[in-house]
Structure formats: structure tokens, C-alpha cells
Amino acid sequence: MKTLKTNIYFKVGAIVVIALLLLIPTSMIESLIFERENTQRQAITEVSSKWGQEQTISGPFISIPYYRYVKEFSKKDSTEKVIQVKEYLHILPSKLNISGNINPEKRYRGIYEIVVYNSNINISGNFDNVDFSTFDIPTENILLDKAEFVVGIDDLRGIEEQVSLEWNNDKIAFNPGVSSNDVVRSGINAQLTMNPDNNQKYNFNLHLDLKGSQLLYFTPVGKVTDINISSAWSNPSFNGAFLPDSREVTNKGFKANWNVLHLNRNFPQSWTNSRHSIGESAFGIDLLLPVDSYQKSYRSIRYAILFIGFTFLVFFFIEVLNKIFIHPIQYILVGIALVVFYTLLLSISEHLKYNIAFIVSALATLLLVSGYVRAILKSGKLTMLISGILAVLYTFIFVIIQLQDYALLIGSIGIFIILGLVMYFSRKIDWYNLNLNEKPD
């Protein structure tokens, strides 16, 4: 009668149960990765809240209040009365030029590195031939003396110097806030007096010293919008609704140019109230540090079951082919060593570059498992075999992580090859007449 020690079904069942149980600490490590990533986000938010948040410069544009009269019927006394409603007309510039430089800085909160910046932005352009008769609003109801030149800025704490507007030959100081939330909810405004003459053209120019964190975006409000940005930051990411028409990125920094027409976006040059949203067309530069250790750790831990399962499978084949008995406790210890690799990887990658952290963690795990296997199997040949297989697995995962776009393809091919090797080496095993016997002394 077979004992539990030599029963093949018991051994296979025990290996499967151990492998499944090891998924519990694996999922706990996965949760730890998310927790550390969230801690990093909190550190970024804390620094940004004191320095200046992500910034989007929306505008500039002109907001002109006007009165609209509507009839209101009262059911109570069956009377009508006329109510005066204040609304806003919004006009975008014909030409918008933005040029500037971003000066990034690195700040630290604990072990986390955060990017903030100072920017020097010059904004200029013009408004051409505002024909108020096209708006179907009586001219006497348009409050041209209450017009506002508005620049939307997400976080006003980032403004470092007083901002002045050069409006034709006039120089006007800006005020904080906006009178209408139709287009933007945060920004600065300058009070204008506009001429009802349809042939009047307006040129504007202003300089903005703006602090922020990580992102700097712009909105293409001009009929023709031309933006030129440069910086000493060598790892920019261009995001948003539009990519640069031209860009130059070197180790010394970058230069980028956008040229956007009003035909490229989904809102007109003028409208009333809050009919359109300009935020969906925002674009710009992302200065986030090229640190994606948490994402890479998360991607690597997805292959934990492959590591554990294939290592246990090799151990099982060694038992079958060499008549060596390996105790379930020894399977558990080797499995825990494989799981600890991910905690090493996570913790070391917070202080060193991810690739270096991966190599250090993999070498440490290989040495630990190899030394333990050598002690329990007492065979240099088998130890080299298992160490080589683990080294190939770690190399395989490392390559997959680096080739993000081809990870699925390479991973599928790799798993297919592994399955083929397992089928090849197990082809001559008679599973019906298999019996595990402890190797004699």
C-alpha cells in the first residue's frame, strides 16, 4: 500500500495547494505596491499644494456682459413681467502667439522626488474686427465699458510677479478672479473699454511668471495659435489634444512648436454663455520624472504564478526522474524565497534605478535558492540546473518589462516555448506506473 510519502497523487495535490497558498502573500505584495504608489502620489500632491499645482493657461479671451430681457408668466396672478438677465459674450483672438521657457527643479519629500518648475511665458496677439451685429444682441444692451480680458490659470498661487496687460497703447493691471464661469473657473482679468466701431483692431501683450508642478498645458483659442516652448528638461512627454509640429529633444533640453488652427478644434471664435468647453483641446508638456518602478513592479508580479509553478514543476520532475524525495515544507520555503524577491525588488527600486534593483534582487534570490537546493539535493548538477532555469526565467521577465509594447507577444511566445519543453521532457514518463521512492543512502 502506498504511503503518503510516495503517493504521486498526494504529492501533486500538495504542490498545487502550496502554489495556490503562495498566491496569498503575492497578492499582499501587490497591494503593497499600490500603497507605495499612492504614498508617492500623496507626496507629490503635498509639495504641489505648497508650490503650485499642475497649470493650464486657458485663453486669453474677452468676456463682455450684456442684458437679455425675458418674459416671466406668473400663474398665481396670471400676469407677465419682464426680467432682466445678465449674460456674457465670449470672443477669442484672431492671432495668438505664446513663447516661453520652463525652468524645472527637483524637490524631495522623504524618499520621493517631485518635479516643480518656474516658467516665463510671453503671450501676444490681436482681436480683429469684432462685429457685434452678428450676435443678434441689441448694441445698447452690450456693456462694452464692462468688458474683461481674461486669462484662465488653474492655480493662482503660481503667479510670482504682478501681471500687466499692454492693450493697444494702454497698460492695464490685472485683477484676480473671473466674473463668469462660462469658460474658466479660475484666472485673472483686466477691465477694458471697447469701441463699438467694427473696424477697431486690438493688439495685446502680457508677460507671465508662473510656477507649477509637473504639467504645463495651453489651450488653442486663437484663430491661428502658435506656441514655442523650450526647457533644459531632457525627458519631456508631450501630451494632450495636439502633439508638437516640430520638436528637438537632446541631453541639454528640448524645444517644441505647436501651430493649431481654429479648424482643428471643436469650438468657434465667439459664443454666448457656456455653450462650449475649451478645456478638451488643451495640450502641453509633462515634466514627470521617468520613474515607473511601481508600474514595472506591478507588471513583474503578474508573472509570480509562472515562477512558482515552473520552479515547483522542475522540482517535481527531479523527484520523478531521480527518485529523490523533496518534502512539502521544502517546497514552501523555496516558494517563499521566490515571493520575497518581489518585496526586495519593490523596496530596492525606491532607492536605486529599477534595472539595478531587479538585478540585485534576482541575484540575491538565485543565491538563496541555489544554496538551499544544494543543501537538500546534495547535487551540484541538479543545483546548476535549477539555478540556470531560474536565471532564464528572471531574464525572460526582465526582457518583457523592458519591451512594454511587445510584452504580450514575447510573453506568449516564451510561455509557449516553456510548455513545449515541459511536454518534451515528460514525454517518456509512464504516469500510470509512477511511484516515488526515496533514494537509498
Three-state SS letters, 340-382: HHHHHHHHHHCCCCHHHHHHHHHHHHHHHHHHHHHHHHCCHHH
Is the preceding peptide bond at 65 cis, omega within 30 degrees of 0? no
**Joined grid coordinates for residue 375:** 543543501
Q: How confident is the model at residue 194 (pLDDT cuts 50, 70, 90)?
A: confident
State how far the alpha carbon of 284 is from the alpha carbons of 60, 98, 186, 217, 240, in Å.
Answer: 16, 12, 19, 4, 6
Question: CB of 189 within 8 A of CB of 174?
Answer: yes
**Joined grid coordinates for residue 423:** 511536454
Whether 34 shows a pLDDT value over 70: the answer reads yes
For 290-310, the pLDDT digits (tens) are 657 788 888 888 888 888 888
Q: What is the DSSP string of 64-128?
A: EEEEEEEEEEETTTTEEEEEEEEEEEEE--SEEEEEEEEEEEEEEETTEEEEEEEEEEEEEEEE-
The CB density around residue 58, as the number of other CB atoms within 10 Å, is 23
Whether 22 shows a pLDDT value over 60: the answer reads yes
pTM: 0.73
pLDDT score of 75: 65
**Joined grid coordinates for residue 340:** 520575497
